[in-house]
Structure 1
Amino acid sequence: MTAPTTYRLDLPYQRPPLTANQRMHWARKAKITRAVRHAAKVAARNIPALGRCTVRLVWTVTDRRRRDADNAVPTLKACADGLVDAGIVADDVPALMTKHMPEIVLGDTAGLVLIVEPLAPEVTP
């Protein structure tokens, strides 16, 4: 049986817990960042080490209000760090992990999903 080529990680949030527009005390931000990293690590527990991967954060919303997709980048960053914590990749540097801009889609149930896809190893000449 072949391994799946795409992993869907359902995160326990209805909206991004970290946003670019938030202004909060550093200690509160650090606590939320730790929680997001841990949630991504736990969600990734069944993914084997990939070496290289691409990551997308998909935010499903239930209404058509205007939202700024790049506002969710801090949540994507914390999730990427959680994948490193889980041992999916050695680091979240561009050579090992390609992070796509967060996406916002309309759906019936609000939530955040992290999509992880393996990439072929880099070939060095």
Structure 2
Amino acid sequence: MKLFPITTVSLPPGEKLLTSNQRNHWRTRARITRDLRTATAWAAKGHGRISGPVRITAVVHPKTNRRFDPHNYQPSVKAMIDGLVDAGLLPDDNSEVLTEVAFVAGEKNPAGWQIELRIEEAAR
């Protein structure tokens, strides 16, 4: 499958993120989810509209050199993808529009943890 890069949407470093390992109170989790969704929607404004199908690669930039599992940030990435839909960048996040979500470790970012969503067109 040949992929064509379309755009990249990222949040500023140090944004509060969710991981699969956290055991937050439901209200705290809901607030962070809402904030991630809203911040991503604002970051995606002006990127146009993508009809799909697309593939998203979530690049997780750590604050330190310690080992970590990029896929543990799935709750944050899900909220960010919902923000892309809220902004109108993607029409929906169903399997016909969003065919794949991959997680990779990015370079160290001393300013704080950061997630960057690389959106690529998937071949039809």
TM category (shorter chain) comes to 0.7 to 0.9
Name 1:18's counterpart in structure 2: 18
Identity %: 32
Where do 4+ consecutive residues of structure 1 move more than 3 Å? 13-16, 107-110
CA shift at 1:15, angstroms?
Answer: 6.6
Q: Find the structure with the greater CA-based Rg.
A: 1
Against the structure 1 CA distance between its residues 40 and 99, is the aligned structure 2 distance closer, same or farther, given a 3 Å change threshold?
A: farther
> Given the alignment of the two structures, is residue 113 of structure 1 paired with residue 116 of structure 2, yes or no?
yes
Partner Cα separation in structure 2 for residue 75 and residue 64 of structure 1: 21
> Given the alignment of the two structures, is residue 37 of structure 1 paired with residue 40 of structure 2, yes or no?
no
1:85-100 equivalent positions in 2, closer than 5 A: 85-100=86-101
> Given the alignment of the two structures, is residue 102 of structure 1 paired with residue 71 of structure 2, yes or no?
no
Against the structure 1 CA distance between its residues 16 and 54, is the aligned structure 2 distance closer, same or farther, given a 3 Å change threshold?
A: farther
Partner Cα separation in structure 2 for residue 40 and residue 30 of structure 1: 15
Alignment RMSD (CA, Å): 2.2
Partner Cα separation in structure 2 for residue 98 and residue 16 of structure 1: 27
Partner Cα separation in structure 2 for residue 26 and residue 20 of structure 1: 13
**Larger deviation, residues 75-84 vs 60-69:** 60-69
Q: CA offsets, 1:56-78, max 9 Å, x none?
A: 21112254311012101111100
Q: Give TM-score scaled by structure 1 length.
A: 0.80
Against the structure 1 CA distance between its residues 69 and 108, is the aligned structure 2 distance closer, same or farther, given a 3 Å change threshold?
A: closer
Q: Give TM-score scaled by structure 2 length.
A: 0.81
> Given the alignment of the two structures, is residue 28 of structure 1 paired with residue 31 of structure 2, yes or no?
no
Structure 1 residue runs of 5 or longer lacking an equivalent are none
Partner Cα separation in structure 1 for residue 27 and residue 109 of structure 2: 34
Against the structure 1 CA distance between its residues 69 and 38, is the aligned structure 2 distance closer, same or farther, given a 3 Å change threshold?
A: same
Secondary structure at the aligned position of 1:118 is classed as strand
Structure 2 residue runs of 5 or longer lacking an equivalent are none
**Conserved? CA contact 1:59–1:104, under 8 Å:** yes
